[in-house]
Structure 1
């Protein structure tokens, strides 16, 4: 291939990416109302302030400050906003016509290339501009994937509490709630019944994070492999949220 042709292709790639993202943004904005009509935002208040603090500390440390995306330590590739955007836009309501064709395209791109696709992140930015943080959190709490139990998928922390602990979410202790949150990263790999040893190790690391005896080492440090149980009780050192 001639050098000039390679240069043209290299110059064209950023333009194509910008065009792709511009279409994603317009589609996400225009599709927000029909997408949310099928989402059914549950009432707020599913979590106590302390539970909210634990969940956001582990899954999205800057949730109440960022605008859909974040580079916080321990964040990894997804925020709570982007997880909700994925479920609302890509796997929630099924659109028809042009909107449906674009939805199928974006879903295919995400399934193929989620680690490098910026489309979901832009959807998260649009979602964050249109939906309050508390509504986002309520959706996340109600629909986050929590593994399989007795042959069925478990969706949401309330269903997980009933399935794995045999009690309502608002009756869980702090340590029990930490156990549920610890599963979120990989709920079948950190399954309390199927993979107890891996689950116990993960819970110990998350408990240390909550207790303040360790911190993520960087943006991609979601495994917390350097964390170990601290001397203090996690329940006694859980930070209180600053946004209620």
Structure 2
């Protein structure tokens, strides 16, 4: 029947799309990393690492790049990093650059259903150690804007929003930074202090074990009533 032929063709096209994404990502990873150098690195303490992962990626050290753990949501640290490395502002040259522009356009159009980034995430996770992923994520995660300038990385965020080095932050201050990550311009210490304070309270309840995420998509921690 005609619909079966259409379905078969669609399946073949999707598989080809994903195969190209994986092969391309494997080939260009080193070049893509070179276009996104990491300058401002600041190692986290064991407690800071535990807080960050509990909120942003509970099974980070166990999963292969993707996860459906409660409270995870659609993005892992690995997938956020893959988006930044492969589809961010870094520009590749030649044919690799043309493929990058294509996948960037697809992702910008259909990011919630685009499986291309998921394949790129699996490639990145297989090629980069978890520790290296975490170091790069901490140094590059988007943290909103401050005085008209984009802030990337937890260390610059600590200096801009808290007025101190990241290593000098206490636990409450670090939780405030982690609380911003989900939507840094919404949970902004200057433009949205009330929303930020509410999210911080929910995260503190989560960390204290007074509540748990209600499902995969519960990144707001709805049962963690302040």
Query: Aligned partners of 2:191, 2:130: CA distance in 1, in Å?
Result: 34
1:31 to 28, 32, 35: 28
TM-score (norm 1): 0.89
- Residues paired across the two proteins, number: 226
Aligned mate of 2:105, from 104, 108, 117: 108
The equivalent position to 2:137 in structure 1, one of 123, 137, 140, is: 140
CA contact (8 A) 1:41 1:138 kept: no
Gaps of at least 5 residues in structure 2 are none
CA distance in 1 between partners of 2:63 and 2:129 (Å) = 12
CA distance in 2, matches of 1:42, 1:117: 30
CA distance in 2, matches of 1:126, 1:41: 20
1:118 counterpart = 2:115: yes
Matched, 1:167 2:156: no
1:99-129 residue CA offsets vs partner (Å, 9 max, x unmatched): 1111001001111111000111111110011
Q: Does 1:85 align with 2:85?
A: no
Q: Does residue 1:99 correspond to 2:57, yes or no?
A: no
What displacement does 1:92 show?
A: 4.5
Stretches of structure 1 lacking an aligned partner (at least 5 in a row): 230-244
Distance 1:161 1:43 in 2: 12
Give the equivalent residue in structure 2 for 1:191.
Answer: 188
**2:18 is the alignment partner of 1:21:** yes
SS at match of 1:146: strand
Q: Deviations over 1:20-45 (max 9, x none)?
A: 00000000000011112223356876
Indicate the residue corresponding to 1:201 in structure 2: 198
TM-score with structure 2 length normalisation? 0.96
